[in-house]
């Protein structure tokens, strides 16, 4: 795997470089002391993996990820344990290494990166087992070989649960064998927004917003840091 290292500390970069040298399948193409330099490099070069520090001057690791249209796999390397939950809101992040990094823990992270499927930026064609189809204002879900019609505006929240999604409406909840991405593609953009890697919400059904969460009916839904700006744009604020 071709990889790069991004860390503002020279010693930290040297340690990761040394760890990489002990893994035959890793090839370090370049290392950078700041994210801006890395962005310029990635504009012309494709990599499979990035080792990325979180705390850097002017441009954090999370800021960097948000600039990437189709990010490769990323392993965060940091001395701060406090961002682990936020980190895994990003699908591209495959592991979170806390400094000082030991070789056994480093090797485990590489195994995760190798076993994680590549993110395909192109839309995949739907399989016959999706269990979801849609019309202009309604959605049909396949439940026990029955097609159930859902009025799209009545959908409150959609939550990912492994290979299934939990679809909550004003009257009833449904569990469907599908992915969040596939149902998101069938919903109108002006009503629905993915606010977290596991949640899509109907923005018209928000009752309250506090810190990094929203209240919809009785459900408190987390809002990731990367999605909060888009959510605020959608709201009709005074």
> Does the residue 34 lie in any domain?
yes
Residue 32 has which token pair?
């950078």
Q: What is the pLDDT of residues 135-160, one digit of tens each?
A: 557 788 876 556 788 899 999 999 99
Question: Are residues 105 and 8 part of one domain?
Answer: yes
Model confidence at 95: pLDDT above 80? yes
Choose one of 90, 115, 140: the last residue of a domain. 115
Model confidence at 23: pLDDT above 90? yes
Choose one of 69, 84, 115: the last residue of a domain. 115
Domain assignment of residue 84, given as a range: 2-115
Question: Are residues 46 and 151 part of one domain?
Answer: no
Model confidence at 81: pLDDT above 70? yes
Question: Are residues 105 and 194 part of one domain?
Answer: no
Smallest CA-to-CA distance from 95 within 32, 170, 160, 16 is with 16
Locate all alpha helices (DSSP H) within 152-220, ordered by sequence: 180-184
How many angstroms separate the Cα of 202 from the Cα of each of 130, 135, 167, 193?
A: 21, 18, 11, 7
Question: Are residues 104 and 10 part of one domain?
Answer: yes
Model confidence at 78: pLDDT above 50? yes
Query: CA 235, CA 238: separation in Å to the nearest integer?
Result: 9
Question: Are residues 79 and 28 part of one domain?
Answer: yes
| pLDDT of the residue at 122 | 44
DSSP state of 203: G
Query: CA 89, CA 237: separation in Å to the nearest integer?
Result: 26
């Amino acid at each position: 795997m071709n990889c790069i290292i991004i860390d503002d500390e020279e010693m930290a970069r040297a340690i990761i470089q040394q760890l990489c040298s002990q893994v035959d399948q890793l090839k370090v193409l370049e290392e950078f002391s700041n994210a801006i330099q890395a962005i310029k490099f990635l504009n012309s070069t494709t990599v499979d993996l990035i080792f990325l520090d979180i705390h850097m001057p002017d441009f954090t690791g999370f800021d960097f990820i948000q600039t990437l249209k189709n990010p490769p796999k990323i392993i965060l390397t940091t001395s701060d344990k406090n961002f682990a939950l936020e980190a895994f809101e990003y699908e591209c992040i495959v592991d979170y290494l806390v400094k000082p990094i030991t070789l056994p823990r480093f090797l485990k992270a590489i195994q995760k990166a190798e076993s994680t499927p590549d993110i395909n930026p192109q839309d995949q064609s739907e399989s016959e087992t999706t269990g979801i189809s849609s019309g202009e204002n309604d959605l049909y879900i396949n439940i026990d070989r029955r097609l159930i019609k859902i009025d799209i505006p009545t959908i409150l929240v959609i939550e990912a649960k492994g290979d299934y999604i939990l679809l909550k409406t004003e009257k009833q909840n449904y569990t469907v064998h599908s992915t969040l991405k596939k149902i998101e593609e069938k919903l109108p953009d002006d009503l629905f927004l993915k606010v977290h890697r596991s949640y899509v919400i109907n923005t018209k059904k928000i009752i309250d917003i506090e810190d990094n969460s929203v209240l919809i009916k009785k459900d408190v839904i987390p809002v990731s840091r990367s999605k909060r700006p888009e959510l605020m744009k959608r709201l009709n604020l005074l």
